[in-house]
Amino acid sequence: MRLVLLAFGLFVIGACSHNISLHSGTKNVGLDQSYAPSMEIRSMIQPYSDSLTAEMGEVIGRADTSFDLTYPNSNLMNWAADALLQQETQAVKMREPVVVLLNAGGLRSSINRGEITVGDLYKLMPFDNVVAWVRLPVERIPEIEKNLSQQAKGVALSNARFEKGKLTVSNLLPEHTHITFITSDYLAYGGDKMTFFLQPESVNVSQRTMRDVFIQAVKQQGTLTNRTEKRYIP
């Protein structure tokens, strides 16, 4: 028998009999009772299920408004990018511009108004992507601009703005030769056709998941910071 424990549900899959019974529409197929999970198996799994339910239901913050999953701009995209920038740079002194760039498709759920639970952040970021720092020469900016122009859903940005083919990076001075991008490992390796991240000056992939960063950000903020300005204008 194979047991599968998922974050938001419990599924028991068994193979004990040749008689199967299912009901679909007007068709009935016989189902042998030996497929039903035994009380012993349920008692084994229940403590883990209860613990997981409690963890997912832990309240870690609140939102005074809904943070909606809309494209190509949203307060949710702004929050995610700003949260990553703040969490990753709060103990680091940078000598050159730092930009957060995330693919909008990586965010999978809105955050509703009211209490925010750990489970809400798992819905927002269900993947185990980790944080990556990618250092690129400023000469790569035209290539980045061309790529961003082709992102149908837009991108989540912090410390930068993209408008009508032009990427404006805050604090970028003529003497700067490089820009550091904070993103996900998926994008750092060219995901979503962001090939401009390939062949970087340097790349540092951490062991910290994006989801863990967002959870920590919610805990620190208490009430989510709502920023509604448009940062991606095609």
Beta strands in 177-228 (DSSP E): 178-184, 202-209
How far apart (Å, rounded) are the C-alpha atoms in residues 88 and 80? 12
This prediction's pTM: 0.79
Dump pLDDT digits (tens) for 83-137: 999 999 999 989 999 999 999 999 999 999 999 999 999 999 999 999 999 999 9
Domains along the chain? 2-56 (no CATH), 60-233 (3.90.780.10)
Buried b (16+ CB within 10 A) or exposed e, 89-109: beeeeeebbbbbbbbbebbee
Q: Is 159 exposed, middle or buried (0-12, 13-18, 19+ CB in 10 A)?
A: buried
